[in-house]
Structure 1
Amino acid sequence: MWQIYQNATVTISAATASHSNQGFLHARNLEFCYLSTWAIPWHDVDDENKLISDTVFCAEGEIRRVKPEPIDSRAWTMQEHKLARRLLRFGSSQMVWQCAEGCEVDGGSKEEDDPPHFSTVDETQMFYHWQYDVEEFTTRFISKPGDRLPAFAAIAANYAKRLNAKSDQYMAGLWRQWMPFILLWYIKDVHDEPTYPDLPPDEEESPTWSWHLACSGVSWPYMPFQGESDSMTLDIEHCHVALADEKVEYGRVKKGSLKVVGALLRIRLLGTRPLWTMPDSSETFAPIDIK
Structure 2
Amino acid sequence: MEVNRPNKQKKSPRKPNENKPKPTTAEENRPNVKTKKPKAAFTLPPVPPKPSLSRKQAGTNWSSVLAAINAADGTITLPEAIEATRKPEAPSNTNTTTPSQSKNRRKKDHLQIVAMDCEMVGTGPLGNDDMLARVSIVKKSGEVIMDKFVKPREHVTDYRTSVSGIRPQDIEHGEQFEKVQNEVITTLQGKILVGHGIYNDLAVLSIKHPSSNIRDTARYKPLARLVSNGRTPSLKRLSQAILGKEIQTGEHNSVEDARAAMSIYNRLSLDWEKYIERKKYSHK
TM bracket, shorter-chain basis? under 0.3
**Would you tell me which structure has more strand in proportion to its own residues?**
1
Please give the TM-score of this superposition, normalised by the length of structure 1.
0.19
Q: TM-score, normalized by length of structure 2? A: 0.19
Rg larger in structure = 2
Of structures 1 and 2, the one scoring higher in RCO (CA 8 A, sep 6+) is 2
Higher helix share: 2
